[in-house]
């Protein structure tokens, strides 16, 4: 029993070490254990897989949003993980908002309506800078006509 416990503790430490090095596919060999230790190893692997599945969903969605495809939402996650869902929802709202702002202003410019302005106050940081710059462009174009 003590040997099994020691082997399980060593396996846990190896799991942690490998994941810290970026080897996130590494799992404990549950077949190397018997009884409750095999079950604990399998459940540990299940827990690791579940956490990684959420991370990979997040990565996939970020990549999709980075390509300008806003067709999907982050699935609703339970409990404390709901913070991830909410963060992705806010990011999507901001990205879609800035996309729409750019489209409205560029369409107005294409029609010759240089009096149109974007709502810079709706945004923060770089997004605000983009809308302010577009507003400046529209103002300068309007003044030059």
Tens digit of pLDDT at every position of the chain (145 positions) = 899 999 999 999 999 999 999 999 999 999 999 999 999 999 999 999 999 999 999 999 999 999 999 999 999 999 999 999 999 999 999 999 999 999 999 999 999 999 999 999 999 999 999 999 999 999 999 998 6
The pTM assigned to this predicted structure is 0.84
Domains of the chain from N-terminus onward: 1-72 (1.20.120.1530), 82-145 (no CATH)
Nearest to 135 by CA among 122, 117, 119: 117
Nearest to 18 by CA among 47, 48, 56: 48
17: CB partners within 8 A, 6+ apart:
none
How far is the C-alpha of 55 from the C-alpha of 70, rounded, in Å? Answer: 18
Nearest to 139 by CA among 99, 105, 101, 111: 105
């Amino acid at each position: 029993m003590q040997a099994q416990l020691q082997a399980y503790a060593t396996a846990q430490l190896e799991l942690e070490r490998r994941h810290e090095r970026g080897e996130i596919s590494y799992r404990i060999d549950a077949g190397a254990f018997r009884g409750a230790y095999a079950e604990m190893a399998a459940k540990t692997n299940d827990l690791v897989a579940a956490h990684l599945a959420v991370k990979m969903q997040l990565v996939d969605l970020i990549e999709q949003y980075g390509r300008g495809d806003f067709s999907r939402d982050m699935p609703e996650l339970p409990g404390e993980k709901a913070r991830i869902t909410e963060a992705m929802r806010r990011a999507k709202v901001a990205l879609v908002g800035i996309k729409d702002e750019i489209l409205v202003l560029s369409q107005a410019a294409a029609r010759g309506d240089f009096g149109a302005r974007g709502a810079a106050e709706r945004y923060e940081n770089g997004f605000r800078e983009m809308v302010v710059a577009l507003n400046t462009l529209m103002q300068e174009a309007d003044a030059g006509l």
